[in-house]
Structure 1
């Protein structure tokens, strides 16, 4: 927390900068530079907002807190079975990816909802069915049945997104309805402890409760992220928001649409980063191998350093986990590894990731 002294020092620095710049000649900037300094998002917002939706959910929660006056009486069981269930309402955001009525949002928005309603920008309300959810990436796919084709927005490439580029966040903050905020990409590849597939886009576009599941657009109007989390001591925007990158989300959504669930590849090994020292050869070192796992059957051992998968370098354990997860179960991959100082290759038939896998 900055002290009064540090604030005073920073104030002097700002004033000093103003005084110093006043002594320099003011040169006119080219008109193109002036136009490019701050973008006008009005046209972009008008184009994409019809595909951004509000999501209202109704779910039941079981209350185990029995009133003291009912404990030990015949009414306690009645309370637990009947009165102990409460209707809970929530709200979030989403966006339409197919005119036929497919809507993307966060898994934590729909949760264990018993009823989901999607509201369009024109006020139309449509009951929604949960097609599928994925806990590990916190994504969900909904389906509504519209009378006519709905406006939809296209996916963009998060891999081509650069730090410093302008972005537009859209959603339903605090239940206020369609809202847009702008900012820049602050960082890429952020890990925030949400799970093994952490690879978030960080942005300073204002994201608040209710924005979850809403889209993060680039200036071309393409979805490059799904707004998922914020870092804030006050539960409001502090200029640090996180979005699931589109390159990760798109594959998950495609699987949910096709199969209603996500199946991931799995080896059955515990790994840690290897070669973190400057200049060292990097990879993922095997710390343990589960019995009867695909890795065990292929002969992987504790201490092996995995360097590449099908010829593609794997410089961190997280990269290895993500790369294996997108391999269809049953497919055989080629791992390049370092064992006892010698490099070799080994073939592994990928298994199906169990729900309990970390």
Structure 2
């Protein structure tokens, strides 16, 4: 006689969910670092960028205990997404664009010590888009009340129906989810270009307080950058961009996302106390 009580039914359902997803989840090994990844497309694995070493070889650990060499296709530290390529015959995961509601159950399917692992928790925060400490735009704020080890970072966050809604990562004092919308926006760019384009003015700026607001003093100018070409000089104070008063240097940097590359912006400055304006074509930030 089978036990059809609610706890038993829930237990069986969650077990089935994990069993269905686990074959697409792999372990990631990079220079003394162990984390988790999942197959996004055939031969392409997504993992947490922060858990990936900056140098050395990368290997993918499979369910049968074998390891396969992997190469880094691209990585974006601002959204914590890294894309790897490996010659593996593992089925990709279908990501769902849903954002789970507050209080919903969530399962993180990952790896630990090179074997599949699972952790059950609750969605402790579910909200609007936000900006990471590294300046990346994350499409939804999802936090999980669940305990994860370092090696489980990069695992898949699932709802109780088994839909994968993002990648679980370790944030400051909490577990965060990089949602599907962010993954599907960033990963294709990494696949085709190996990096995410960021806007570039070619200026080193220092905030200054003015009588009528906040400005940004130009401390140095990249002689080969777009602002130099437009005529902006060291000592100029930027007071507005596209007729919008400056609210700070950080706020200006936030406007220089991928969509800004190639745009022409009106930059209002004060030079020796006199107003001057320039048209600057936003460039693409060179790789560090």
**Greater strand share, 1 or 2?**
2
1:43 Cα deviation from its structure 2 partner: 2.8
1:54 Cα deviation from its structure 2 partner: 1.1
Alpha-carbon distance between aligned partners in 2 of 1:48 and 1:328, rounded to the nearest angstrom: 38
What does residue range 160-171 of structure 1 map to in structure 2 within 5 Å?
160-171=99-110
Alpha-carbon distance between aligned partners in 2 of 1:211 and 1:165, rounded to the nearest angstrom: 21
What does residue range 1-358 of structure 1 map to in structure 2 within 5 Å?
40-57=13-30, 59=31, 89-99=32-42, 101-146=43-88, 148=89, 150-157=90-97, 160-173=99-112, 175=113, 177-187=115-125, 188=127, 193=133, 195-197=134-136, 199=138, 201-219=142-160, 221-232=162-173, 240-267=174-201, 287-288=216-217, 291=221, 294=226, 297=230, 302-304=238-240, 321=253, 324-327=256-259, 329=261, 331-332=262-263, 349-355=281-287
1:212 Cα deviation from its structure 2 partner: 1.6
Question: How many pairs align?
Answer: 255
Name the TM-score, length of structure 2 as normaliser.
Answer: 0.69
Alpha-carbon distance between aligned partners in 2 of 1:92 and 1:223, rounded to the nearest angstrom: 18
Name the TM-score, length of structure 1 as normaliser.
Answer: 0.57
**Greater helix share, 1 or 2?**
1
Alpha-carbon distance between aligned partners in 1 of 2:175 and 2:280, rounded to the nearest angstrom: 38
Alpha-carbon distance between aligned partners in 1 of 2:251 and 2:156, rounded to the nearest angstrom: 25
Q: Deviations over 1:252-309 (max 9, x none)?
A: 221221122222223457699xxxxxxxxxxxx753456465467398963327798x
What are the ranges of 5 or more consecutive residues in structure 1 without an aligned counterpart? Answer: 1-33, 60-88, 233-239, 273-284, 309-314, 338-345
Q: 1:209 to 1:271 in 2, by over 3 A?
A: same
Larger Rg: 1
RMSD after superposition: 4.1
1:226 Cα deviation from its structure 2 partner: 2.2
Q: Deviations over 1:161-218 (max 9, x none)?
A: 4433332212124x2621111223222456674x122745321122222112222233
